[in-house]
């Protein structure tokens, strides 16, 4: 799989967990094609999954070979955490225990604590200290909290969880309502948990309609829709996809992972932000240390929370609600860690 391009940069190592799953299947091509880290950035891909999935991973490797992508230097399939996390620059935690019918949230948290505790310890021990971490597997915020808890030697600002899919869904709903392209919608915010308590906020968003930039509220002229139906659609979109497809979002999740990492790698435009779950520094009155989705600006690989956005009573109430759920999840997860 060696590349012959002389201008290609030395390879970075990227690990994907849950690599035999359907999100990873959509994700691998986008990463290996140069969409995320650049067409001149060669890659060594580490694919981690459980032992029974090793045969499936061989099939995935055959496909990567058959696509003949020039930046792919090597693909390493493994069921071993040391091999998976050794010297990685980027860690994409896609794998998690899915919620099964009749499963209580505490049972789900307990199963995931076990996974993310083990992987956190391995990440801490074997990955580069500069590793950029993205947790996708649900419950993503709390899984990220546990992972970071067990990888104390990696800087706190290197841990993120995925709320870009919710961000993209919010943009898509506004664009659809106005019959414009989603790239004409900017600065939506997802606050809080990647769950049905998240707060999709467009009070600071702008759109370009007929060549003119205007606020979303002015363009849509229906505050009731924006405060009720729009919020509900975005909050419940994942469940709606499952109901329709009988499978969870994969293609859109993979695209959101790529958007998240590309922006982290390459930066956001001035005066523009994206939504990412990060470890709270106390901004907007959120408990310090909680993994919470904020508006994030990125420059030279450094994430910063956009400050001084004014919150009205309604948005404060929405943010408090999602924070309350996250604190409960965190406490349940910490209880589960002490019993393991």
Number of neighbouring beta carbons within 10 Å of residue 232:
12
Task: Report which of 36, 19, 126, 20 is spatially closest to residue 72, judged by C-alpha positions.
Answer: 36
Q: Is 183 annotated as a binding residue?
A: no
Instruction: Answer yes or no: are the C-beta atoms of 168 and 127 closer than 8 Å.
Output: no
Question: What residues act catalytically?
Answer: 194
| Annotated binding residue 138 | yes
In the chain, what is the straight-line distance between the N-terminal and C-terminal CA atoms, in Å?
A: 42
Contact 194, 140 (CB under 8 A): yes
* 49 annotated as a binding-site residue: yes
Is 99 labelled as part of a ligand binding site? yes
Both tokens of 282, joined, read 């106390």
Q: Which residues contact 211 (CB under 8 A, 6 or more apart)?
A: none
Q: How far is CA 201 from CA 235, 251, 265, in A?
A: 11, 24, 25
Q: Is 168 annotated as a binding residue?
A: no
Known binding-site residue numbers: 49, 99, 105, 112, 136-138, 169
Known binding-site residue numbers for NAD(+): 49, 112, 136-138
Known binding-site residue numbers for substrate: 99, 105, 138, 169
């Amino acid at each position: 799989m060696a590349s012959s391009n002389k201008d290609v940069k030395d390879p970075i190592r990227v690990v994907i967990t849950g690599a035999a799953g359907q999100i990873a299947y959509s994700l691998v091509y986008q990463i290996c094609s140069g969409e995320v880290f650049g067409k001149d950035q060669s890659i060594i891909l580490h694919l981690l999954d459980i032992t029974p999935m090793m045969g499936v991973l061989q099939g995935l490797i055959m496909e990567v070979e058959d696509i003949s992508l020039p930046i792919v230097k090597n693909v390493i399939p493994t069921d071993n955490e040391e091999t998976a996390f050794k010297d990685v620059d980027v860690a994409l935690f896609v794998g998690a225990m899915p919620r099964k019918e009749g499963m209580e949230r505490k049972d789900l948290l307990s199963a995931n604590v076990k996974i993310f505790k083990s992987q956190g310890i391995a990440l801490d021990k074997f990955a580069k200290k500069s590793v950029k971490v993205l947790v996708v597997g649900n419950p993503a915020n709390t899984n990220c909290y546990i992972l970071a808890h067990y990888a104390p030697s990696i800087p706190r600002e290197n841990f993120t969880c995925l709320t870009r899919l919710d961000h993209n869904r919010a943009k898509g709903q506004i664009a659809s309502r106005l019959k414009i392209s989603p790239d004409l919608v900017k600065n939506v915010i997802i606050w809080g948990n990647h769950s049905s308590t998240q707060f999709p906020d467009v009070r600071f968003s702008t759109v370009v309609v007929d060549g003119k930039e205007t606020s979303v509220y002015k363009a849509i002229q229906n505050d009731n829709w924006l405060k009720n139906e729009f919020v509900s659609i975005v909050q419940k979109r994942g469940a709606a996809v499952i109901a329709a497809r009988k499978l969870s979002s994969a293609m859109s999740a993979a695209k959101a992972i790529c958007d998240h990492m590309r922006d982290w790698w390459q930066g956001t435009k001035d005066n523009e932000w994206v939504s990412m779950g990060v470890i709270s520094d106390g901004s907007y009155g959120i408990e310090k240390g909680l993994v919470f989705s904020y508006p994030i600006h990125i420059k030279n690989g450094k994430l910063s929370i956009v400050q001084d956005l004014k919150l009205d009573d309604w948005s404060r109430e929405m943010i408090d609600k999602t924070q309350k759920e996250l604190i409960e999840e965190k406490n349940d997860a910490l209880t589960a860690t002490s019993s393991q």
